[in-house]
Amino acid sequence: MANDAVFDVLVIGSGAAGLTLALCVADHCKVGVVSKAQIDSGSTNWAQGGIAAVLSATDSFDSHVQDTLVAGGGLCDLDAVRFTVEEGPAAIQWLIDQGMLFDTTKKGPYHLTREGGHSHRRVIHSKDATGKAVQHTLDDQARAHPNITVLENYVAVDLVNRDADGVRGRCRGAYLYDIEESRVKVFGAKATVIATGGASRVYLYSSNPDGSTGDGIAMAWRAGCRVANLEFNQFHPTCLYHPEARTFLITEAVRGEGGKLLLPNGERFMKRFDPRGELAPRDIVARAIDHEMKRLGIECVYLDISHKKKSFIKEHFPNIYKQCKKYGIDISKEPIPVVPAAHHTCGGVMVDHRGRTDIDDLYCIGEASYTGLHGANRLASNSLLECIVYATAAAEDILERLDTLPAPPDLKAWDESRVTNSDEEVVVSHNWDELRRTMWNYVGIVRTDKRLRRAQRRVDLLLAEIQEYYGNFRVTPDLLELRNLVTVADLIVRSAASRKESRGLHYTLDYPEPAPDPVPTVLSPE
């Protein structure tokens, strides 16, 4: 029994949430930051729109709170919403203090844009690649900090929170698969933080990078944490539809700056679904597009910003302009073909206002968590805000408790004595494809009880098959991700089946109306 490494704080995930927490505690303790690939490979690096915060004299906390509650469809936790919104300005200032450069106006103040669901311009941004700017700012700070060890090319396997008799207790660290050495290592920690992002890769079409496989949610569930509201998966309405483009998002801000959604014949259609038109919340826009695509049998709709001056487009959306031009689309002259794609996991591991889970010394922050902020639908650009606010709060809690936390004991080494190398890797790729198609076809934008029952039967079979495979063969990164995806798929299906209403991101033809007294969907491990 021996630990491969010991840290005061082990952060699993290297996006905005994980790096913020690491930087907030690193002056006082030894921190390990785990990344599946390179440090900037997560979803933060892909976020385009910006960060919502009250930064204008004409805006107010109450207005931001109200917009969040309206988008959340009656399921937001009011305390969580107000806490997040009121900490917003401080979160933005913290980023600026780290060296983050946001866009400014010609007269000096920061440029604020407006996105769907917001009643004011309150989205601070860095062109149309805010997430990349945040990621690179925090990357630089983390790599330069002497107390932070960045562990790239490690895939988390499971949390360590059981004693020799299998009894659950406080979290002591995690098993991590070292991709370069092709073996599982054990890392001890006083406090362990899940910041692994969401699970949108459980669907066939997603705007997220390949690593968004629900690892933290699945690990926390296996360790004994409750999860909540996993039926609410946000589908971004506008991802680029092109055979050579993989998961390229067309930011909400394009519609915020006047972009129009069109059918192939040039007809606008959003006003038929919502009086706010293109500025309706994402769930309404995604359902409208899905409806029109099914009604007309078309493969995509179109988002048109070409009525704006070319100089305006290139200044505000340089990344989108460049990427679309690469695929032969000049957005200053023609509309952009778009389709909905799985984008954000609104539910997750249940936590309090300091990111604490059901397990002692285990925290969860960012998209993997359920704070109560998003409710039944995430308001645009509230996600990066949530990352910074809750990472800061969790960091404060960890520092307050650090001196009283016991050092991790020598942990049990990973046992491979009863497994062999697989001679049937095709099983993993086949199950991966079947699972994602099942979720897309039966647990997508529009659901029915019949579709959910079909999905559950297929997921049950895949659960058994994947678990048997996991028990007999040495782990690989693909197998670990598949194991986590099928676990999260099961939780999503079970959550969706239990909600007998339509609300926010969960829309079912069998129960098209909202229930009078909604409550969060909470699942508890046995």
In angstroms, the Cα distances linking 458 to 98, 99, 446, 512 are 47, 48, 18, 25
> Phi-psi category of 216—alpha, beta or left, where left has phi over 0 and alpha has psi -120 to 50?
alpha
At position 377, the amino acid (one-letter code) is N
> Phi-psi category of 354—alpha, beta or left, where left has phi over 0 and alpha has psi -120 to 50?
alpha
Supply the angle between the helices 78-86 and 88-97 in degrees, to the nearest 10: 40
Q: Is 523 exposed, middle or buried (0-12, 13-18, 19+ CB in 10 A)?
A: middle
Residue 404, classed as helix, strand or coil, is: helix
Q: What are phi and psi of 212, to 5 degrees?
A: -80, 70
Helical (H) or strand (E) element with 67: helix 61-71
Query: Per the residue annotation, which of 82, 114, 282, 447 is the catalytic one?
Result: 282
- Tell me if residue 451 is catalytic: no
Alpha-carbon torsion, ordered 353, 358, 362, 363, to 10 deg? -20
Cα 226 to Cα 245: distance, rounded to the nearest angstrom? 37
Helical (H) or strand (E) element with 193: strand 183-194
Per the listing, tokens 């450069």 go with 101
Q: DSSP assignment of 358-381, as one string?
A: SSTTEEE-GGGEE-SSSTTSPPTT
Alpha-carbon torsion, ordered 342, 290, 253, 242, to 10 deg? 70
Cα 413 to Cα 157: distance, rounded to the nearest angstrom? 13
Q: What is the 3-state secondary structure (H, E, C) of 69-135?
A: HHHCCCCCCHHHHHHHHHCHHHHHHHHHHCCCCCCECCCCCECEECCCCCCCCCEECCCCCHHHHHH
The residues, ordered by sequence, that sit 6+ positions from 164 with a Cβ below 8 Å of its Cβ are 412
At position 524, the amino acid (one-letter code) is S
Q: Are 376 and 505 in contact (CB under 8 A)?
A: yes
The residues, ordered by sequence, that sit 6+ positions from 441 with a Cβ below 8 Å of its Cβ are 451
Q: Are 445 and 451 in contact (CB under 8 A)?
A: no
* Residues that are catalytic: 282
